[in-house]
Amino acid sequence: MKIKGIYTPIITPFGKNNEIDYESLETILKFLLKEQIHGIVVGGTTGEYFSLNFQERIQLFDFVKKKVGNKCQLIAGTTSINANEAMELSLIAKYLGYKCILLGSPPYSQPTQEESAQFFLNVAKKVQIPIMMYNFPEKMAFEIKEPFLKKVMSNKFFTSIKHNSPNPAMIRHFVSTYPSLQIACGNDLQFLEFCTWGSESWIGGMSNCFPQLHLDIYKSAVMKKNFMTAKVKILKIKPIIDYVISIGKYTQSVKFIMHELGFCKETCRLPYLKLTTEEKKKIKKLINFAL
Amino acid sequence: MKIKGIYTPIITPFGKNNEIDYESLETILKFLLKEQIHGIVVGGTTGEYFSLNFQERIQLFDFVKKKVGNKCQLIAGTTSINANEAMELSLIAKYLGYKCILLGSPPYSQPTQEESAQFFLNVAKKVQIPIMMYNFPEKMAFEIKEPFLKKVMSNKFFTSIKHNSPNPAMIRHFVSTYPSLQIACGNDLQFLEFCTWGSESWIGGMSNCFPQLHLDIYKSAVMKKNFMTAKVKILKIKPIIDYVISIGKYTQSVKFIMHELGFCKETCRLPYLKLTTEEKKKIKKLINFAL
Amino acid sequence: MKIKGIYTPIITPFGKNNEIDYESLETILKFLLKEQIHGIVVGGTTGEYFSLNFQERIQLFDFVKKKVGNKCQLIAGTTSINANEAMELSLIAKYLGYKCILLGSPPYSQPTQEESAQFFLNVAKKVQIPIMMYNFPEKMAFEIKEPFLKKVMSNKFFTSIKHNSPNPAMIRHFVSTYPSLQIACGNDLQFLEFCTWGSESWIGGMSNCFPQLHLDIYKSAVMKKNFMTAKVKILKIKPIIDYVISIGKYTQSVKFIMHELGFCKETCRLPYLKLTTEEKKKIKKLINFAL
Amino acid sequence: MKIKGIYTPIITPFGKNNEIDYESLETILKFLLKEQIHGIVVGGTTGEYFSLNFQERIQLFDFVKKKVGNKCQLIAGTTSINANEAMELSLIAKYLGYKCILLGSPPYSQPTQEESAQFFLNVAKKVQIPIMMYNFPEKMAFEIKEPFLKKVMSNKFFTSIKHNSPNPAMIRHFVSTYPSLQIACGNDLQFLEFCTWGSESWIGGMSNCFPQLHLDIYKSAVMKKNFMTAKVKILKIKPIIDYVISIGKYTQSVKFIMHELGFCKETCRLPYLKLTTEEKKKIKKLINFAL
C-alpha cells in the first residue's frame, strides 16, 4: 500500500453528554474529502482514542468506513494499552473494510524490543493487511529501534512507519537499512526534514484545521521539490503550533480551532479540559495568521 | 490513613488459558499475610493492570478484599489510560471496601499539571477516601510537579504519594513544602535514601518474592534506624534487581521468581513473553543470593 | 560576511614529539585549497584546540593565515574554557588577519544566558569583526537559547551560527525569529535537513578526509536543489560516521583516516589514544565505501 | 588517605583588578581552620579554576599549602581541559606538598572510558599520591562508568571519588563493586542519601559560607547516625541552594554570600557577572534563614 500525501488524524468530536458526536464527525469528513485530503487516520492520538471504550472505538471505525468508503485512504488506529484489545481491534478494523492499521507498541508496559516485535508479528499474522508502525516514544514509553525492526521487517505487512521522535538519527537509519520502508512524518513541523530523506507523507493533527495549507506544503515539497516555497508555508503554521505546544495543550487546541471554524463543540474528554479565555484569545489571533 | 511499612504490589497470576488464576492468587495472599506484610496493592504495575479488562479489574479487587478482609492494609490500583474508567474503578473499589486507592495520571495523554490535578480532585470528590498519588513519569509520560501539588494538596484526601522517579530533588521538595505528605518509596533500591527524608513505607515489586527480606530492611532502617545493617541487606537483592532491569524484564522476572518459588505459572500476558532459558538460569542463581 | 559552502574544521597534525607538525599541516592546506574548499576553520573541535596551549594556538592561527592568505575564507576558532583567554585569542586572530572568528560560550562554567551573551558582546566590542556563534551543548554544557539571542542579535557582528545540537526546534526558531542569521550545519549527517530551512553552509570534520564528496553534496543540495542526489551521496559517508560515533572516537578517527590517506601521523594529543587494530581495520573498509 | 568529614572547595577571591586577592583568601582560610573544617579543596569548580591561568593555579596551590600546612587536609584540584596541563599541575601540586589531588576527566573532549582511564593511570604513575576521581558529568561531558573504574581501580592510588551526578544508581554500584572506595558527596543537598550508602565525606561549595552548619550535619548524620536531626538541619540550607540553582548562579552566589559575610569582594571572573539587585535582596533574606 502506497502511503503518499497528507493524512489527517481526525479528531473525535463530542456532544453535550460527552458522547461521540457523529453528526459533526460527518461534517468534518465531508470537509476533508472536499479538500481532497489523501487519507484519514481514525482513532489516533489526536482522535483521543485513549478516552474511548472498546465499543466506541469499533463504532467509530464502522461509521467512518461507511461514510468515506473508498473516497480516500483510511487507516484505523488500533493502539491500546491492553495488547489483547489492540489485537482484537486490529482484526475488527480489517473486517470493517480497513486496508491498513496504525499500531503502536502497547503504551506503559515497556516491553523489550523483541517482545514488542513479537506482538507486532502476531498482529500481522492475524490481520494480514499492511501495518503502519507507530513510533511515538514520548507517549508510549517505547521506542522502535533496530532490534525491533530487524525482527519485523522481513514480514511483508510492515510497509510503513509513522515517526514522531526527537531522535533524528533514526530517520537516516530507516532510509539506509530499510530503503523500501515508507516513512510518514508524524511531527507537525518536521515535514521538510523528512522529505529530504525521501518521506512522501505527513500525518499531522493540524491538518484537521488547515488541510489546504498542508496540501500546499505537500505539493511544494514533494511534487515540485521547491523547499523555499514549502518553508514559507510551513512558517505560517509554526506560531500556532509553537504556542499550543508551549501551553501543553495540543489536542485540546486542535479541538478548539475546529470549534472556531464551526465544525464541532470544543469539548475534549477527561483529563483534557477547555482552554482558558486567555488561551482562546491568543489562538484566535494565530488562526488568522495561518489561514 | 497511616502508610507505614512494606506494601506488596501483588502480581496477578494467570492460568493456562490466560485467565486470572485465583487459586494461585489466594496462595500468594496467604503467604504474604503469614509473613505479616503491612499492606497489599492490588492491580498495580507489577500486577499488570494494563492487561486486564474492566470486569477483570473489578473481580480482582473484589476477590482480594474478600480474602484479605482487614488482615492487612489494602490499596486498590485504579490508574487507567481512560480517565473515566479510572474514576469508575475508584468508586467501585470504594464500594468493595477499599479504604485507599493508588491513582496515577492517565498515561499517554499528557495532560497539563492543572488538568491532571483537576482530574484527581474530581476523583477525590467522588470517592471520599484517601488517595495515594502515583508518580511514575517513565511509564505515565506525566510527572507530578509543584503546580499539580499546589492544586490538590489542600484537599484532605491526598495524604500519600508513591514516588518512582529519577528526579531526587522532588523528594526534598515534598518534605519541605508538604511535611505531612507520606512518601512511599516506589523504587526497588532507593528505600534507604527515602528513609533519610522521613519516608516510612516501601512499595517494591520484589517484595512479592522476598517479603521477609523487605520486612527486615524496614525494621533495620525505619524501626532501629540502623542503616549499616539495612544497607547490607539491600545489597542482597541488588544483583537480581540490577539484572532484571538490565534485560528490561522486571515484571516478567518477578513472575518467573514466583513460579520458581512454587506460587504460580510463569506466564505474563502480552506483550510480555517468557524469559529465555539463559535468563532463567541466571535468575535462579541470583535467587539463592537473595534468600 | 557571507557564509556559503563547505568549511573544513581542519585537524591539527602532530609530530613524533607531539609538537604541531606544520609540514603536514601545509600539505593538508594545499590539498583542501586544490579541492576548492570554500573555507577553513582553524583551531576548532576537530582541530583539538583544547590540547593546544595559548602560544600554540596563536602560532597555528598565524601559520595558516600566512599559508592560505585569501585563497579561501578563514575562520579562527577562539573558544576557551578561560573567558579572558578567549577574548585575547579573538583579538589576536583579528590582528593576524582573520575576518571571522568561531566563538563558543566558555565550556564547563555554565554561565546564564545573559552572562554568556554579555561575554559575546564584550568580545564583539573588542574585535569588531563578524562572529560565528558556536552552539554545541553536548560539549560546552551551554546551549544557545532565545534569551541569549535576544541580547546579542541586535549587534551587527553576530551574523552566523554553527549549530550542532540534537534540538531540531532551534533551527526553526533561528529561521523564523532571525531570518538574516546564517546557519551553518555543524553536524556530519544533518546537512540536508538544515538546507530545507535555508542553510547554505556545512562545517563537518569529515570534510578533512572527503572534501570532494562534501562539495558534491553541497552542489546537489544547495546549488541544484536536488535532494535525491544529495541523499544518495550523504549515505556514502553515513556508515563511516555512524561507526566512529558508535566507538566514541570521532576526532581520533578523522586523524587516522588522514593518516591512511597519507597526510600526517595518526597521533592525537591526550586524552585521545590511537585506535585499536580492530577499529583501524573496520575504518579502512569504510573509507573505500566513502571514496 | 582517609577521607572523612566536611571538605570546603574554597572560593578564589578576586581584587579590584581581577587579580587573586590573597589577603582575603588568608582570612577565609583562617576562618575555615577556626571552624575546624576537616579539609580544603583548592582550585575546584567553586574556586573558578577554569578562569585561572597555569601560573595562577600554581601560585594558589603554593599559597594555600604554606598558610594551612598540616592544620587540615588539603586537596589540589588539578582538572584541566588540557590533559597535559592537568598532568603537570598534578605533579607540581605534589611537589608543593599536597598529599591528594582531585582530578576530573579533561572536560569538553569526551574521551572514551578507556582513554580517560588511561589518562588517570598515567597521572597516577607520575604523581604517586592518592587521587580523588571527580565525577561531574554535567560540566565535564564525561561520566565515570564501570569500564573506566574497571581499568583504574586495581591501582592503589584511586582511593576516593567525588560524585556529583543525577544518576543515583552509580553510588550503589560503587558500594557493591568497590567497597573500599571512599565516596565523597559532591552535591549540596544529597549528603544524607550518600550517608546511607556509607559515605562519610561531603564537598559542598556552600560550606564556604556555612561551615558550622555543615559540620553539624556531618556530626548528626555520620557520628551520631541521627538522620532526623540531620534532615532538619539540611532543610535550613535548602531554600538558599534551591534559589541559587534556580537562577543558574551557584558560584556567583557563594561569592556574594561570602562578600555579605565580610570575607571578600563579590567579584567573579568572566563569564560570571555580579548578581542583580533583586537577586541580592532575595539571597540576603535566605542567608538569615540558614544561619
DSSP D6-74: EEEE----B-TTSSB-HHHHHHHHHHHHHTT-SEEEES-TTTTGGGS-HHHHHHHHHHHHHHHTTSSEE
As a whole number, the mean pLDDT across chain C is 97
What per-residue string of b and e applies to A59-75 under the rule 16 or more CB within 10 Å gives b? ebbbbbbeebeeebbbb
Helices C83-95, C113-127: inter-axial angle, 10-degree rounding: 30
Mutate: best of D11, D89, D109, partner C, most C CBs <10 A: D109
Instruction: Give the residue carrying C-alpha cell 532526623.
Output: D228
Minimal Cα–Cα distance from D250 to chain C, Å? 10
- What tens digit of pLDDT does each residue of B22-80 get? 999 999 999 999 999 999 999 999 999 999 999 999 999 999 999 999 999 999 999 99
Minimal Cα–Cα distance from C246 to chain D, Å? 11
* Integer-rounded Cα radius of gyration of chain B: 18
Mark the ranges of chain A whose per-residue pLDDT is less than 70: none
D166: pLDDT confidence band, cut at 50, 70 and 90? confident
pLDDT at D19: 98
* CA atoms in the 13 A half-sphere facing the CB of B207: 33
* CA gap D80, D100 in Å, rounded: 16
Question: Stretch C257-266: mean pLDDT, rounded?
Answer: 98
Question: Stretch D259-283: mean pLDDT, rounded?
Answer: 98
Q: Is the pLDDT of residue D168 over 80?
A: no
SS3 D205: helix
* CA gap B232, B218 in Å, rounded: 13
Minimal Cα–Cα distance from D151 to chain B, Å? 21
A190 CB neighbours in chain C (<8 A) are 168
Which of A272-286, B159-173, C134-148, D66-80 is the least confident region? B159-173
- Give me the amino acid identity at C184: A
Cβ partners under 8 Å of residue A25, min gap 6: A10, A12, A13, A63, A64, A264
pLDDT at A242: 96
Question: Stretch B96-124: mean pLDDT, rounded?
Answer: 98
Instruction: Identify whether the C-beta of residue B92 lies closer than 8 Å to the C-beta of residue B61.
Output: yes
Minimal-distance CA residue of chain D relative to C138: D141
As a whole number, the mean pLDDT across chain D is 97
Query: Phi and psi dihedrals of C113, rounded to 5?
Result: -55, -45
Among candidates A151, A30, A161, A146, which has minimal Cα distance to A100?
A161
Minimal-distance CA residue of chain B relative to A244: B112
Among candidates A64, A131, A62, A140, which has minimal Cα distance to A101?
A131
- What tens digit of pLDDT does each residue of C84-139 get? 999 999 999 999 999 999 999 999 999 999 999 999 999 999 999 999 999 999 99
Q: Is the pLDDT of residue D31 over 90?
A: yes
Among candidates D275, D283, D189, D172, which has minimal Cα distance to D233?
D189
pLDDT at D6: 98
B247 CB neighbours in chain A (<8 A) are 112
Instruction: Identify whether the C-beta of residue D270 lies closer than 8 Å to the C-beta of residue D251.
Output: no
Residue in C197, C226, C238 closest to A172 by CB: C238
B123: pLDDT confidence band, cut at 50, 70 and 90? very high
Contact C190 A197 (CB under 8 A): no
* Integer-rounded Cα radius of gyration of chain C: 18
**DSSP letter for each residue of A115-152:** HHHHHHHHHHHHH-S-EEEEE-HHHHS----HHHHHHH
D169: pLDDT confidence band, cut at 50, 70 and 90? confident
Instruction: Identify whether the C-beta of residue C121 lies closer than 8 Å to the C-beta of residue C156.
Output: no
Query: Phi and psi dihedrals of C142, rounded to 5?
Result: -150, 135
pLDDT at A134: 98
- Please write down the long-range contacts of B239-242, taking CB distance under 8 Å and 24 or more positions apart: B239/B286, B239/B289, B239/B290, B239/D176, B240/B206, B240/B283, B240/B286, B240/B287, B240/B289, B240/B290, B241/B188, B241/B189, B241/B206
Instruction: Give the residue carrying C-alpha cell 474508567.
Output: B85
What's B5's DSSP letter? Answer: E
- What tens digit of pLDDT does each residue of C209-250 get? 999 999 999 999 999 999 999 999 999 999 999 999 999 999
D290: pLDDT confidence band, cut at 50, 70 and 90? confident
What's D263's DSSP letter? Answer: S
Percent of chain D surpassing pLDDT 90:
97
* Alpha-carbon torsion, ordered D253, D254, D255, D260, to 10 deg: 90
Q: Which three cell numbers stand for residue B101?
A: 486507592
Query: Phi and psi dihedrals of B26, rounded to 5?
Result: -65, -40
Chains B and D touch (3+ CB pairs under 8 A): yes
Instruction: Identify whether the C-beta of residue D205 lies closer than 8 Å to the C-beta of residue D228.
Output: no
Question: Stretch D34-44: mean pLDDT, rounded?
Answer: 98
Helices A113-127, A83-95: inter-axial angle, 10-degree rounding: 30
Question: Stretch C46-61: mean pLDDT, rounded?
Answer: 98
pLDDT at B230: 96
Strands B73-77 and B101-104: parallel
Question: Stretch B223-227: mean pLDDT, rounded?
Answer: 94
pTM of the predicted model, to two decimals?
A: 0.96
Among candidates A111, A120, A290, which has minimal Cα distance to A188?
A290
D167: pLDDT confidence band, cut at 50, 70 and 90? confident
* CA gap A213, A234 in Å, rounded: 8
Residues of chain C with a CB closer than 8 angstroms to some CB in chain D: 45, 48, 50-53, 81-85, 87, 105-112, 114-116, 118-119, 122, 138-141, 247-249, 251, 269-273
Minimal Cα–Cα distance from B47 to chain D, Å? 25
* Residue ranges with strand state E in chain D: 5-9, 39-42, 73-77, 101-104, 131-135, 160-163, 182-185, 201-203
Instruction: Identify whether the C-beta of residue C220 lies closer than 8 Å to the C-beta of residue C230.
Output: yes
C291: pLDDT confidence band, cut at 50, 70 and 90? confident
Burial of residue B179 (CB within 10 Å: 0-12, 13-18, 19+) is: exposed
As a whole number, the mean pLDDT across chain B is 97
pLDDT at D119: 98
Q: Which three cell numbers stand for residue B225?
A: 534506624
Percent of chain C surpassing pLDDT 90:
97
Question: Stretch D91-102: mean pLDDT, rounded?
Answer: 98
Question: Stretch B192-221: mean pLDDT, rounded?
Answer: 97
Cβ partners under 8 Å of residue B52, min gap 6: A82, B12, B20, B43, B60
Minimal-distance CA residue of chain B relative to A275: B115
Percent of chain B surpassing pLDDT 90:
97
Minimal Cα–Cα distance from C289 to chain D, Å? 26
pLDDT at B167: 81
pLDDT at B166: 78
pLDDT at B169: 86
Residues of chain B with a CB closer than 8 angstroms to some CB in chain A: 45, 48, 50-53, 81-85, 87, 105-112, 114-116, 118-119, 122, 138-141, 247-249, 251, 269-273
* CA gap D228, D221 in Å, rounded: 9
Cβ partners under 8 Å of residue C104, min gap 6: C79, C133, C134, C135, C136, C140, C142
pLDDT at A228: 92
Minimal-distance CA residue of chain A relative to C220: A196
**A118 or C168: whose pLDDT is higher?**
A118
SS3 C14: strand
pLDDT at C167: 80
B148 CB neighbours in chain A (<8 A) are none
D87 CB neighbours in chain C (<8 A) are 270
Q: Is the pLDDT of residue D139 over 80?
A: yes
Instruction: Identify whether the C-beta of residue B117 lies closer than 8 Å to the C-beta of residue B155.
Output: no
Q: Report the number of secondary-structure helices (H) and strands (E) in chain D.
A: 12, 8
- Whole-number Cα distances in Å, D51 to A205, B33, C55, C84, D44: 50, 62, 17, 7, 11
* H helices present in chain C, as ranges: 22-34, 54-68, 83-95, 113-127, 137-140, 146-152, 169-177, 191-196, 211-218, 227-246, 250-260, 277-290
